[in-house]
Structure 1
Amino acid sequence: MSIASYIDSLVLAPAPAPQFESLFFGMHETTRSLNAPSGLPDRFMAAVNANALLSFVEGVDPEERDDVLFSVQLAVRGASGSHDRFTQIQAWYQKYTEILENLGWTAEQFAFAHYDQGEGEVRMDQAALAVIAAIASQNQLATLQELINALERLAEDDGTIRLFDFQSTMQTSGNFQIGAVQRTSNGALSLALGAFHFHSSDTRKRFLFFSWGARQVNFWTSAQKLTLNTTLYAPLRQAVKHKLGANALDYISALTTA
């Protein structure tokens, strides 16, 4: 099977609920009438993208940023179309990695470890950054910290954080990713990505920023570097956009980090 046929054969999870439509700034009804998403606005360097928070180091151009957002979104929606992302975690991440590899990303299966918080409390945003710090560059960590700060500043009813919570949690379970992208010296795109899932004793909005006690949440973490071969991805760009359709933008909400 060709890669184009593989992309076409993927079963995607349905679009977000109607209350989350048109969150992406600058999106108009004419964009939604198309069969594929148009280019995104040039000036933003962080975004919610389904259940992923992604930031971009200066030097990643708009087309490269779009390639990352759309390829990652295809992996998320394709994995969710095959497996429940809250109850079938291992199978979900296997499909997620398979899709990324077929799109030109080099990646390995995520190896999750239980996060040991002892008897104290933990905030998931701080724990996640600490895990990613082991694989990320200084610039990637800086953009991730800006992204987390921007998300934390949002009000509880802000559409961007509601979209992330909706895509990342269901009842007392969660599955999300946080990553930063930079261009390497050979022109490839390097993504320092943390993958996380949890089960908690109760349901909370803005779950990243709560202080969880040792008995309130079981939190699993993993991190790895992924690399996108842009030469391999370029011929697949339109097939990915076509498969995602116009509602790809319903999954994306830009964050202002300044």
Structure 2
Amino acid sequence: MLQSDQLDFISSLELPARKPVIATRAAFAAAPTLPGVSFDENTDNGVVVGESAIGLTDSLSEQNSIDVMNCISLMQQGADKKFDKETQRKQWYEFYTKGLATLGWNTTNNASQLYTPRASEFSMDQIALEIIGAVSGGGAFRSIAEKTLNGLQKDQGALNLLENNSASESFGTFQILPCLESSKGQVAMVLNCLEFKKQVRTKRVLFFKFKKTNVTIYRAASQVQLNTNLYARIRNSVEDKLAGGAENFLEQFEI
């Protein structure tokens, strides 16, 4: 893909008035820039970005962690501005994944599909782990996802932020995104999205017991990689697009 095509796409994106907090090296070095967020690449980190909970293991470099957050943040905001995810579910996810592909992620045409849980009663965190395990074969990705969910459950502020960005009384959507970095510095992630219509009148998304008869679930999931060389040439443009963000979009939690 030509760099000019990437830059044109980034320039054309419209973002909502509530822009996400930008993640940059300088921002992580200056605590006032990102309230409540610090960075230590020697530990595992969990970060809520809008409706996504990202699991960043200690294998990820500082730069790769920042790049993951900014990619998710930019495309989530861009898709939110263009489509109503409650009424235009398919269009939202298609725009979101195509945008990530433009930024350098090797996403494929992985459409959202109806998903029927095996159990008659379940919570959405259990469904997320089931899907992540099936896509990745279990192992490291599922383990990171479990740690991310456990950390999220213990941090009410981060959980509230995710659920406030995720749900209405009758609809919910969220992403649990476990990430790894190879010994060669390549970033891999299980890209997944769960969307559900619910008859139970609640804005809870995770850790709430639903009955199979009360929800209709759609899911999309695949294992993807970031072409770091492709992304590096547009990194500054992504950060410029996200600059001047507002609070209440990004929050760190322990995993």
Aligned counterparts of 2:92 and 2:62: Cα–Cα separation in 1: 29
Question: SS in structure 2 opposite 1:41?
Answer: coil
Residue 186 of structure 1 and its aligned partner are, at CA, apart by: 4.0
State the shift of 1:111 in Å.
Answer: 2.6
Residue 148 of structure 1: how far off its partner (Å): 0.6
Equivalent position of 2:18 in the other structure: 15
Query: TM-score of the superposition, structure 2-length normalised?
Result: 0.85
Give the corresponding residue for 1:105: 105
Partner in structure 2 of residue 164 of structure 1: 162
Q: SS at 1:76's partner residue?
A: helix
Unaligned stretches of 5+ residues in structure 1: 18-23
Contact 1:56 1:140 in 2 (8 A): no
Letter in 2 for 1:144: A
Q: Distance in 1 between the 2:118 and 2:143 partners?
A: 28
Higher relative contact order, structure no. (Cα contacts within 8 Å, ≥ 6 residues apart): 1
Equivalent residue for 2:23?
none
- Residue 91 of structure 1 corresponds to which residue in structure 2? 91
> 2:175 and 2:109 mapped to 1: Cα distance?
14
Q: Report 1:207-218 matches (<5 A).
A: 207-218=205-216
Amino acid paired to 1:60: L
1:89-168 to 2 correspondences below 5 Å: 89-117=89-117, 120-136=120-136, 138-154=139-155, 158-168=156-166
Give the paired residue count: 240
Retained in 1: the 8 A contact 2:59–2:180? yes
Q: Is the Cα contact below 8 Å between 2:46 and 2:56 reproduced in 1?
A: yes
Distance 1:86 1:14 in 2: 19
1:214–1:107: structure 2 CA closer, same or farther, 3 Å change rule? same
Structure 1 residue 13 displacement after superposition: 2.3
User: What are the Cα deviations for residues 110-168 of structure 1, in whole angstroms up to 9, with x where unaligned?
Assistant: 333322236711111001101110223522211210111111223xxx33111101111
Alignment partner, residue 7 of structure 2: 4
Q: 1:110 & 1:233 partners in 2: Cα distance? A: 21
Q: 2: distance between equivalents of 1:49 and 1:112?
A: 21
What are structure 2's unaligned runs of at least 5 residues? 21-27
Match of 1:67 in 2: 67
Helix, strand or coil at the partner of 1:66: helix
Q: TM-score, normalised by structure 1?
A: 0.85
Distance in 2 between residues matched to 1:47 and 1:219, nearest whole Å: 24
CA distance in structure 2 between the aligned counterparts of 1:169 and 1:128, rounded to whole angstroms: 16
Partner of 1:20: none
Q: Runs ≥4 in structure 1, deviation > 4 angstroms?
A: none
Cα distance change, pair 113–190 in 1 and its aligned pair in 2 (3 A) = same
Matches of 1:11 and 1:57, distance apart in 2: 31
Tell me the SS of whatever aligns to 2:7.
helix
Identical pairs, percent:
28
Q: Which residue of 2 aligns with 1:238?
A: 236
- Contact 1:93 1:109 survives alignment (8 Å): no
Q: How many Å apart are 1:108 and its aligned residue?
A: 1.3
Structure 1: distance between partners of 2:149 and 2:252: 13
RMSD: 2.4
